[in-house]
A and B are shown apart, each in its own frame.
Chain A
C-alpha cells in the first residue's frame, strides 16, 4: 500500500524550462529524501530533510532546490532543466536514525528534450 505520494508521475519538457515535483508522506515520518535514479539505474541521494530542516545536501547542481513546508511534504524544483536531468526522481521517507527503513514513492520520471 502506497504511503509516499509523488506528482506528477511523468513529465516531458524542453531544455531550459522549470519543473517541480511534489511529494507527500502519510507515515508520520520525520525524515524525507530525494533520490535520483538515472538510465543505468544508479540510485544517488540528492537531499534529505528532517522535520523541515535540510540535513544532507549532496553535490547537486544549483538549479535543483528542495522545499519543505512541513515534515510530511518535500518538493523538488529544477530551475532550468538540462538533458542530463532526464531520470526518475524518487521521494522517500523514514522515521530517521540508523537502520530505519526507507519507504519510496512511485517516482517521477522526467524526460528533457
Chain B
C-alpha cells in the first residue's frame, strides 16, 4: 500500500536559519498527489501546500516544495525560519481515487530566538 516517510522526531533551529523537512513516498500510482499539512499547538491540521506536477516548485507562505518523481520525494523548505513556524508538519499522499490521504509520522519543528 501507499506509505510516506518523513524526517523523524524534533527539528530544532534558530530563527532566521533555513529549514528543510524530508519527505519520501511509496505508491504504485504513476501520478501521485503530495501534500504538506501544518498543525500548530492546540489547533487542527491545515493545508500548507500541495503538488502533483513533477519538477515544479510550489510555494505558499514562504515555504516551498518540489515533487520529484524520480526520487519519490517532496521535501519542504523555507529559507528563513520564524518563531511562528514552530509546529508539527505532516507530509501526505493521496490515493488514486482521492478519497484517502496517507500521512507521514509528522515532524515537530521548534524555532528558537
Contacts and interface: CB of A to CB of B under 8 A. Distances in A.
Nearest to B42: A106
Interface of A: 31, 40-45, 48, 50, 55-56, 90, 96-107
A56 B44 CA distance: 22
Given A41-B88, A42-B106, 12 more contacts: A43-B106, A55-B97, A55-B99, A90-B44, A97-B98, A98-B31, A98-B94, A100-B98, A101-B35, A102-B101, A103-B46, A105-B44
B1 to A, nearest CB: 10
11 contacts: A40-B105, A41-B105, A41-B106, A42-B103, A45-B100, A55-B97, A96-B99, A98-B31, A102-B37, A102-B47, A104-B45
Interface of B: 31, 33, 35, 37, 39, 43-47, 50, 52, 88, 90, 94, 96-103, 105-106, 108
Given A43-B45, A43-B90, A90-B45, A101 B33 contact: no
